[in-house]
Structure 1
């Protein structure tokens, strides 16, 4: 694992040398009002990822460039639409993308190629909205339903989604999912890794009062291609801060129950809970967390539609919950390098995880760290590290990412 760890000082040097060249600007001059009849939107991301996994004799490295390009139309009277494509180019094949068959390398799920990312038509007024077509869906913290935005390809859904807001404090959402398009891309060697046919119903209700939010949800997920992935999940979530300015104590409490559902041939019932107290002061936020995904030794609670990279460590050891379940106990601290000027725009995070089985022994531990920095209007940089130490599950693994991303939008026609 020496190769990846040698990249740590290089990554830090890159961040340090990039900082003086940055132009501090919170506004994107290319941003345009949502009312413009026709807009061009783009998201270009250049990334180097390196993986040093003790299970392999070779390190993996991927240098990829993703361009997401879309046309957004606002037709008036509440109608709008989006047509968006995504393409990924890679320099070299020194990694297992899931589509190139290079299994002698560790996995980095960023294959080259292209696909239709979003294509939807929507209507919205002050209280009701509806969207039909291939779209992005994000619910709460994306623990159950998300877009896996970290990978170069995005997870999107062929869906009908509805939103009703009868009160300013109450939001009701429903979505029916017909298909999920996964981050392994359309050329993945495994067909279920490309996309899956679904008959999934998502019910979500959120009530916001001041700095607090209460959420209730029911996710009835039927996977027509992988029957054992079909589950019914019912849960509640409470998050908030004691003070309206966000300082002082904060918390997230969540509990859910997951059972087999629809065509699933298995029979199980698993618990989920999250306890996450936090404290924010002087621009720093410290958190302690305990996340529990139940398992019985034969089967465990799963979250197949989640943005999995955001949970249980950035090394992605637990994108599939082991049969014994997971107890993830963690601590993190995040903030800015300064209060004013450019230092006030440099964001950093350090986190530590201890992983244990719900039934069984210890899995391992992991350190995560990142530094993000603006470079110009719409352009940002990121240095990110993950270091997993195995103790009964998997193998020691370390990863490093160096990334530049440019986002923007430009009106192609003026509002009349």
Structure 2
């Protein structure tokens, strides 16, 4: 009995330790199993998505270049995981191929048929379009990796989704939206992945800040876009601006209005330029038709520098013939009239542009005019077919240009 009483504490300790070890092992096993299940659930609940577009583009210019014709097929395939404690990831690949041998066009940055045909900026490529990790919780979102970034109308920062290779950025983005009316986003860009595959990507040190507040009358936006390519010399391009856009209904008529102003400075080791940006728009929707008048000024610094928007979805602005992808040093004034409506189950759009220099001279003052036409309709739910046309008539700037697009696309 004495022996038993002396040994009991030790026996109890041994059993307790054994029980604790077994419990710990089981708990660890259960925890690991739970974590494995959570990871599996996040992966299995993810979504696969795809986007396909077959497009013909034809370009005819009144110059020595041969007319261009391109039939290209663009594919995007991607996967977004489910949520795991606020974490998720997205991977998306993109590919573009010439279809049926219709590839008589030039893509300068990729070295494809240089100097032979008019330019169609859709090279053949296969690349990572997006690949990022995201954390999202309580109105806060952080996203790190290759990603699409687009602000507001895409006038200053966009994805250039019109081209077969859209623009993305290697970036870290942080978004705070405490409610549905307020949103603040900051992004740091390490690389600009442009529309030419990997042949013209640009290393960068860009800072993008955009803050918006939705009011009853419209959305107020303030922004600062501080751009710099990562090279050995100074090349700052800083833009600060404000915009306000909204609409109101009055007795069955919807009034549309907007105004935007920005100030830009461009500084290098040798030069220091300043230019202003102004955009105003007014329109109305009645009887199913929307009519808008726009007035946009990309200012000039005494005829030496034109206001620049290198990260914009440029094709969307100043005419689809793409005469003003780079603002002339004399600046640009674009006065436009836009009509949109519906017909035969689809949507039509017509735009007239009148282009003038902001700081014209006796040699060049009027740039020319342009007409844009488009019709888009959907069928079988997920399919879209469309035709689009641009006709630029030069008045001394560049050359007369006609462009035609026909495409069919689907996404799911």
Instruction: Please state whether the residue corresponding to 1:404 is helix, strand or coil.
Output: strand
Give, in whole Å, the separation in 1 of the partners of 2:271 and 2:102: 42
Preserved CA contact (<8 Å) 1:346 1:371: yes
Give, in whole Å, the separation in 2 of the partners of 1:167 and 1:246: 30
**Residues 80-95 of structure 1: pairs in structure 2 closer than 5 A:** 80-90=88-98, 91-95=101-105
1:283 is the counterpart of 2:291: no
Corresponding position of 1:48:
56
**Residues 2-401 of structure 1: pairs in structure 2 closer than 5 A:** 37-90=45-98, 91-98=101-108, 99=110, 100-186=112-198, 188=199, 194-210=200-216, 212-225=218-231, 230-243=236-249, 247-261=253-267, 265-295=270-300, 296-337=302-343, 343=344, 345-360=345-360, 361-401=365-405
Give, in whole Å, the separation in 2 of the partners of 1:67 and 1:398: 27
Instruction: Please state whether the residue corresponding to 2:376 is helix, strand or coil.
Output: strand
Describe the superposition over 1:11-38 as per-residue Cα deviations: whole angstroms up to 9, x where unpaired. xxxxxxxxxxxxxxxxxxxxxxx99722
What number of residue pairs does the alignment pair up? 362
Unaligned runs of 5+ residues in structure 2 are 1-41
Preserved CA contact (<8 Å) 2:156 2:312: yes
Describe the superposition over 1:34-73 as per-residue Cα deviations: whole angstroms up to 9, x where unpaired. 9972211111000000000112352100000000111111
1:126 Cα deviation after fit: 3.1
Preserved CA contact (<8 Å) 1:196 1:225: no
Instruction: Please state whether the residue corresponding to 1:137 is helix, strand or coil.
Output: coil
Q: TM-score, normalised by structure 1?
A: 0.84
Give, in whole Å, the separation in 2 of the partners of 1:138 and 1:323: 26
Preserved CA contact (<8 Å) 1:43 1:69: yes
1:81 Cα deviation after fit: 1.1
In angstroms, what is the RMSD of aligned CA positions? 1.9
1:102 Cα deviation after fit: 3.4
Q: Which has the larger radius of gyration?
A: 2
Unaligned runs of 5+ residues in structure 1 are 1-33, 189-193, 338-342, 409-416
Preserved CA contact (<8 Å) 2:335 2:354: yes
Corresponding position of 2:14:
none
Give, in whole Å, the separation in 1 of the partners of 2:318 and 2:47: 37
Give, in whole Å, the separation in 2 of the partners of 1:382 and 1:334: 15
Give, in whole Å, the separation in 2 of the partners of 1:69 and 1:301: 36
1:222 Cα deviation after fit: 1.0
Give, in whole Å, the separation in 2 of the partners of 1:374 and 1:332: 22
1:101 Cα deviation after fit: 3.0
